[in-house]
Amino acid sequence: MQSQKRFRAIGVMVVFAALVAGCATIQTGSHFDETTDFSAYRSFSWIDEDPYITGDAVTLVSPLAQEQIRNAIRSELERIGYAFTDDRGNADFVVSFTVGAREQIRVESYPVQYRGYWGWHVPYSVYYYREVQTHSYTRGTLGVDIFDNESGKPVWHGWAEKTVTQSDREDPSKSIREGVAGLFEKFPG
């Protein structure tokens, strides 16, 4: 009986460690128009005065976080060799971004060992019951879109996704910087 409790406690710790490790990672990705010659691009600007695009399902993003996202995108594009210009008309490409959040529920089920002899069951056999646990969490996504300024067509989309933690809610700057750096990692320029 003691060994069962010990194994169960170890199992719970392993699952908890895996969840914490999984929550800390930022997943990123991108895709682009393969017919676009990115080597011809030299400069960029924002798509509009406010490059934060909102749709019908508005995710509330503080003005401070929006500014941190703008700064991170601009810094990353400048780091990889593009010059920022305030003159949208002379930029080679323009940039916009979106932010989304979705509440999700993770359901975990595992067998709980139960021993006993009741009526028609085989004596001393092992029976398993399922224990179910649910965990709710928020999944946040940052999307960045780049449009060719001359044609207006979209040429690149990148995204970063992460489980939002309490520390992200209090100070999102580190996650913003890491997410933006990750999504521009494979920029085709």
pLDDT tens track for 98-137:
998 888 888 887 666 554 455 455 555 455 566 788 888 8
For residues 185 and 28, the answer to whether their CB atoms sit within 8 Å is yes
Amino acid at the residue 51: P
Residue 93 structure tokens: 């490409």
How is residue 35 annotated by DSSP? Answer: T
Q: What is the pLDDT of residue 152?
A: 95
For residues 45 and 94, the answer to whether their CB atoms sit within 8 Å is yes
Residue range 40-96, pLDDT digits in tens: 999 999 998 888 877 655 567 888 999 999 999 999 999 999 999 999 999 999 999
CA distance 184 to 29: 9
CA distance 37 to 144: 19
For residues 38 and 81, the answer to whether their CB atoms sit within 8 Å is no
For residues 95 and 156, the answer to whether their CB atoms sit within 8 Å is no
User: Which uninterrupted H or E stretch holds 31?
Assistant: strand 27-32
Residue 36 structure tokens: 């676009």
Q: What is the pLDDT of residue 57?
A: 56
Say if residue 178's pLDDT is above 50. yes
Which CATH number describes the domain made up of 27-183? 3.30.160
Name the least confident of 15-24, 62-71, 179-188. Answer: 15-24
Q: What is the pLDDT of residue 42?
A: 97
9 vs 44: which has the higher pLDDT: 44
For residues 59 and 101, the answer to whether their CB atoms sit within 8 Å is yes
